[in-house]
Chains A and B, each alone.
Chain A
Amino acid sequence: MLSYILRRIVATLPVMAIVALFVFSLLYIAPGDPAVVIAGDQASPEDVERIRQSLGLDRPFLVQFGSWVWRILHGDLGTSIFTNLPVSTMIGQRLGPTLSLMIVTLLLTIVVAVPLGVVAAWKAGSLIDRAIMGFAVFGFSLPVFVVGYMLAYIFALELEWLPVQGYTPLTEGFWPWLENLILPAVALGCVYIALVARITRAAMLEVLQQDYIRTAKAKGMGQGGILFIHALKNAAVPIVTVIGIGIALLIGGAVVTESVFAIPGLGRLTIDAILRRDYPVIQGIVLLFSFVYVLVNLMIDVTYTLVDPRIRY
């Protein structure tokens, strides 16, 4: 297992290299010019050119790419064209809010979606099943920003229970941290909950028809035991897979959620960087997200062995 994990970690290097080349090439050919944005609306073409030169954007593609890769290999993600701050500092400033949002959303999803899916499968065809699946379709269809605005209106403006926006670090207290994350996590989690609940239901339905379930029932085992000990464990592989794949969904959703709730996370940093063509920041974030995604996939593969002992690497 250890050698497998090591092999997989080593295998991430070519993946990251391809991602790096891909992202760099895309940004190079994409329209837009950070020098124009920096120079402002009143700048002359000469000013723009001087800024472009000072940023090194006038150099050939291979020179720019080589210099960037060289810095990466030395652990330097570069400096933001706009803020003049190291990209690693900017990412560090934004990591906390995004991680917090993802963790709370992930926990919320698992706590809500898995039981919902199990119950829907258990009561398949009943009103409860239809209600849960109806909710799932609704949750999957509603755009995150619509859910976000509705939640903000009800729970912040109307009921005044929670703040509309912002983020408080965990170091300033658990409740101040959590209260800022509840509404965004629910908004972001809706799609995710819907997805996981549907997959859980489908996987459970299949498992519940297996002979060993019938045997467990015949032996007089309680419903809870059958569902959560025998069935859920055997249905876990697709559920774990979709939870893992959903991380990408969360990363994408965080961009919108962080904007709606003014959370200073990586999602907003990504958008800001793209709109301004802040190449070093975009490249740093995409590399980070790619790495996280590869890592999550590895964790999923490792988790398979825990939920299904038949799987061996």
Chain B
Amino acid sequence: MDRRTVLKGLAGAGGLALTGGLSAPAIAQGAAAKTLRFVPQANLANFDPIWGTQYVVRNAAAMVWDTLYGIDAKFQPQRQMVESEQVSDDGTIWTFKLRSGLKFHDGEPVLSKDVVASLNRWAARDPMGLMIKAIQQELTAVDDRTFKWVLKQPFPKLLFALGKNNAPVAFIMPERIAQTDPFKQISEYVGSGPLKFAKSEWVPGAKAVFEKFTDYVPRQEKPDWLAGGKQVMIDRVEWVIMPDPATAAAALQNGEVDWWENPIADLVPVLKKNKNISVDIGDPLGNIGSFRMNFLYPPFNDVKARRAVLMAMSQEDYMRAIVGDDNSLWKPLPGFFTPDTPLYTEVGGDILKGKRDLDAAKKLLAESGYSGQPVTCLVAQDQPITKAMGDVTADLLKKLGMNVDFVATDWGTVGSRRAQKTPPGQGGWNMFHTWHAGADCVNPAPYTAIRATGDKAWFGWPTSAGTEKEVASWFEAKNLDEEKAAIGRLNKAAMEDVVYAPTGFFLSYTAWRKNVSGVAKGPVPLFWGVSKSA
């Protein structure tokens, strides 16, 4: 009997018992209706959204720090802290004016100098920020509410960069905080967002508390992801960190917490049966599973070997290993971009479609010169997603006749070892598994994993001139049609060179008690618009 089986069985039994509609016990009803108790996907171990780029930090930061622009559900940047902007005819001089009445949580007004310092810190860490910085002539505060960004050449995606929700997000901090070295952590958490961070109540690994910022002036537009009016209806949000999913499931059923961001697939049926709980897809942009092959060493330094793996792999196998039998939670992905988003394409993705041809794959692998050397496959066992994918990959490689050196380890070790460029037998590797948030894969700007700049690329160090050429084309595109054309070509080039192997697209649920209303789908948990009755 393993631990997961036990927790599933017990949580299931608990769920059935509660299906009868038993009310929550008095213990659970004690919390005020104005306090929302939320179980996040992970521990909030640090709280500097520029220094640490984990999703959980980004999600918490979105409450505390505001942005100049916010991306809406159509991936369009909308004004948030900015009241207006002007751009010169040649597209190189941008002049922005801040909304009036913006205040930080310490009562100080938000000024242009704060914005300039914040953007400087952000630009030192963000891939898009670095691109802007490379063509920046100056970034200056003109007056308290106006700042100017002068570029050496146009950067059409500037507003997207300022509003994107991919970490690191261009959050605005007070100048004194934003002047911190971007590679060092801040120790003061003052923002101008709709909620304040209660540092004194923060117990990393256990609890984080956010209080409504009463001086926040929301925009008048309807809320739409990170755009629009961020109207907070509750006084306090308590993040309760629960490392054990069965405990989180039981606490939600028992009314001890109100909202669980990311229930594991095994426990969703239990929650769905409980009439006091609502379950729905949380982030419609989902995730893209992947494994990366090391371009530096045999066998995957030969494109034929990489293609052989792609030709043989079944995305359905990977997805079922991750989400189980729920077909609504996954889609095949013969491409690299997030499904149901404007730039999604399957151009060039035929190799991942249709019946898997193991014989042809074996033949191609033989042509690559593979001669039975061990293939070091790193698999983090403490992450259910990578563990599931790793097991499928090991089976796949064995079917292809490869000699698998299966390195079962933890995520911390994978994170460290994947950075090693030494040969696989000397501390390096041939393959590792990971996944990417769909929000990071909607276009090439935040999509580090698709870049193929060789030595400077992400782990695996893929080289693909065709891919890089089309990334540049996308950045230069002036309208959606041009963008789509560039992405089609990019997808094809990346698939031909197998920049990485997409294992499929998968979604996950979020669950909340029915006395909570206003839970909206989005790439981050959105706390504005959420209310709770007793």
Q: Is A88 an interface residue (CB 8 A)?
A: no
List of B residues within 8 angstroms of A152 by Cβ: 10, 14, 247, 250
Given contacts A37-B412, A268-B243, contact A149 B53 (CB under 8 A): no
Q: Is A32 an interface residue (CB 8 A)?
A: yes
Which A-chain residue is minimally distant from B1 (CB atoms)? A146
Interface stretch, picked from A246-254, A272-280, A287-295, is: A272-280
Checking B6, B205, B413, B415 against A272 with a beta-carbon cut-off of 8 angstroms, the contacting residue is: B205
Which B-chain residue is minimally distant from A161 (CB atoms)? B25
Which of under 10, 10 to 19, 20 to 34, or 35 or more describes the interface residues of B?
Answer: 35 or more
Q: Is A262 an interface residue (CB 8 A)?
A: yes
List of B residues within 8 angstroms of A286 by Cβ: none
Nearest CB on B from A7, distance (A): 38
List of A residues within 8 angstroms of B14 by Cβ: 152-153, 157-158
Given contacts A42-B53, A42-B440, contact A164 B207 (CB under 8 A): no
A164–B6 Cα gap in the complex (Å)? 16
Query: B204–A31 contact, CB under 8 A?
Result: no
A185–B141 Cα gap in the complex (Å)? 59
A162–B382 Cα gap in the complex (Å)? 30
Query: B256–A164 contact, CB under 8 A?
Result: yes
Q: Which of B6-28 contact A (CB under 8 A)?
A: 6-7, 10-11, 13-14, 17-18, 22, 25, 27-28
B249-281 CB mask vs A (1 if < 8 Å, else 0) is 011011010000000000000000000000000
A48–B48 Cα gap in the complex (Å)? 16
List of B residues within 8 angstroms of A37 by Cβ: 412, 415
A271–B166 Cα gap in the complex (Å)? 28
Nearest CB on B from A116, distance (A): 26
Nearest CB on B from A285, distance (A): 12
A46-65 CB mask vs B (1 if < 8 Å, else 0) is 01101101100000000000
Query: A166–B256 contact, CB under 8 A?
Result: yes
Which A-chain residue is minimally distant from B437 (CB atoms)? A41
Given contacts A31-B413, A264-B206, contact A54 B181 (CB under 8 A): yes
Given contacts A152-B10, A276-B45, contact A157 B18 (CB under 8 A): yes
Nearest CB on B from A168, distance (A): 10
A82–B44 Cα gap in the complex (Å)? 10
B351-389 CB mask vs A (1 if < 8 Å, else 0) is 000000000000000000000000000000010000000
List of A residues within 8 angstroms of B3 by Cβ: 143, 145
Query: A165–B247 contact, CB under 8 A?
Result: yes
Query: A150–B207 contact, CB under 8 A?
Result: no
A50–B51 Cα gap in the complex (Å)? 11
List of A residues within 8 angstroms of B243 by Cβ: 259, 262, 268, 271-272
B160-193 CB mask vs A (1 if < 8 Å, else 0) is 0000001100000000000001011111000000
A25–B503 Cα gap in the complex (Å)? 39
List of B residues within 8 angstroms of A36 by Cβ: 412, 415-416, 419
Which A-chain residue is minimally distant from B449 (CB atoms)? A42
Q: Is B242 an interface residue (CB 8 A)?
A: yes
Checking A38, A54, A143 against B46 with a beta-carbon cut-off of 8 angstroms, the contacting residue is: A38
List of A residues within 8 angstroms of B11 by Cβ: 149
Query: A54–B183 contact, CB under 8 A?
Result: yes
List of A residues within 8 angstroms of B207 by Cβ: 264
Query: A54–B25 contact, CB under 8 A?
Result: no
Nearest CB on B from A282, distance (A): 12
Query: A156–B254 contact, CB under 8 A?
Result: yes
Query: A164–B10 contact, CB under 8 A?
Result: no
List of B residues within 8 angstroms of A264 by Cβ: 203, 205-207, 241
Q: Is B422 an interface residue (CB 8 A)?
A: no
List of A residues within 8 angstroms of B47 by Cβ: 83
Given contacts A153-B10, A272-B45, contact A93 B382 (CB under 8 A): no
Query: B419–A260 contact, CB under 8 A?
Result: no
Query: A42–B246 contact, CB under 8 A?
Result: no
Query: B53–A82 contact, CB under 8 A?
Result: no
List of B residues within 8 angstroms of A48 by Cβ: 419
List of A residues within 8 angstroms of B13 by Cβ: 153
Nearest CB on A from B79, distance (A): 26
Query: A83–B244 contact, CB under 8 A?
Result: no
Checking A158, A163, A275 against B256 with a beta-carbon cut-off of 8 angstroms, the contacting residue is: A163
Checking A44, A149, A179, A271 against B6 with a beta-carbon cut-off of 8 angstroms, the contacting residue is: A149
Query: B10–A82 contact, CB under 8 A?
Result: no
Query: A33–B416 contact, CB under 8 A?
Result: yes
Query: B183–A164 contact, CB under 8 A?
Result: no
Q: Which of A130-171 contact B (CB under 8 A)?
A: 143, 145-146, 149-150, 152-153, 156-158, 160, 162-166
Nearest CB on A from B34, distance (A): 19
Q: Which of B371-424 contact A (CB under 8 A)?
A: 382, 409-413, 415-417, 419
Given contacts A42-B446, A276-B45, contact A163 B247 (CB under 8 A): no
Q: Is A85 an interface residue (CB 8 A)?
A: yes
A54–B357 Cα gap in the complex (Å)? 50
Q: Which of B482-530 contact A (CB under 8 A)?
A: none
Which of under 10, 10 to 19, 20 to 34, or 35 or more describes the interface residues of A?
Answer: 35 or more
Query: A90–B204 contact, CB under 8 A?
Result: yes
List of A residues within 8 angstroms of B242 by Cβ: 165, 262
A240–B7 Cα gap in the complex (Å)? 35
Query: B250–A275 contact, CB under 8 A?
Result: no
Checking A44, A80, A166, A268 against B456 with a beta-carbon cut-off of 8 angstroms, the contacting residue is: A44
Which A-chain residue is minimally distant from B39 (CB atoms)? A262
Q: Is A39 an interface residue (CB 8 A)?
A: yes
A50–B124 Cα gap in the complex (Å)? 12
Nearest CB on B from A171, distance (A): 15
A267–B127 Cα gap in the complex (Å)? 38
Query: A42–B415 contact, CB under 8 A?
Result: no
Query: B204–A82 contact, CB under 8 A?
Result: yes
List of A residues within 8 angstroms of B185 by Cβ: 84
Which B-chain residue is minimally distant from A167 (CB atoms)? B206
A165–B27 Cα gap in the complex (Å)? 11
Checking B43, B250, B419 against A164 with a beta-carbon cut-off of 8 angstroms, the contacting residue is: B250
Query: A83–B45 contact, CB under 8 A?
Result: yes
Q: Is A40 an interface residue (CB 8 A)?
A: yes
Query: A82–B434 contact, CB under 8 A?
Result: no
Q: Which of B438-469 contact A (CB under 8 A)?
A: 440, 446, 448-449, 456, 458
Q: Is B68 an interface residue (CB 8 A)?
A: no
Q: Is A106 an interface residue (CB 8 A)?
A: no
A177–B143 Cα gap in the complex (Å)? 55
Q: Is A66 an interface residue (CB 8 A)?
A: no
Given contacts A32-B416, A268-B205, contact A259 B45 (CB under 8 A): no
24 A–B pairs (Cβ distance < 8 Å), ordered by A:
A32-B412, A33-B412, A33-B419, A42-B127, A47-B125, A51-B51, A54-B183, A82-B46, A82-B204, A84-B186, A93-B206, A153-B13, A153-B14, A157-B253, A158-B14, A164-B254, A165-B256, A259-B244, A261-B247, A262-B244, A262-B251, A264-B205, A272-B43, A275-B412
A residues at B contact (CB < 8 Å): 31-33, 36-45, 47-48, 50-51, 53-54, 80, 82-85, 90, 93-94, 143, 145-146, 149-150, 152-153, 156-158, 160, 162-166, 179, 259-262, 264, 268-269, 271-272, 275-278
User: What 11 new A-B contacts, CB under 8 Å, besides A32-B412, A276-B45?
Assistant: A33-B419, A42-B127, A51-B183, A94-B203, A94-B206, A156-B250, A164-B256, A165-B242, A262-B241, A264-B207, A275-B411
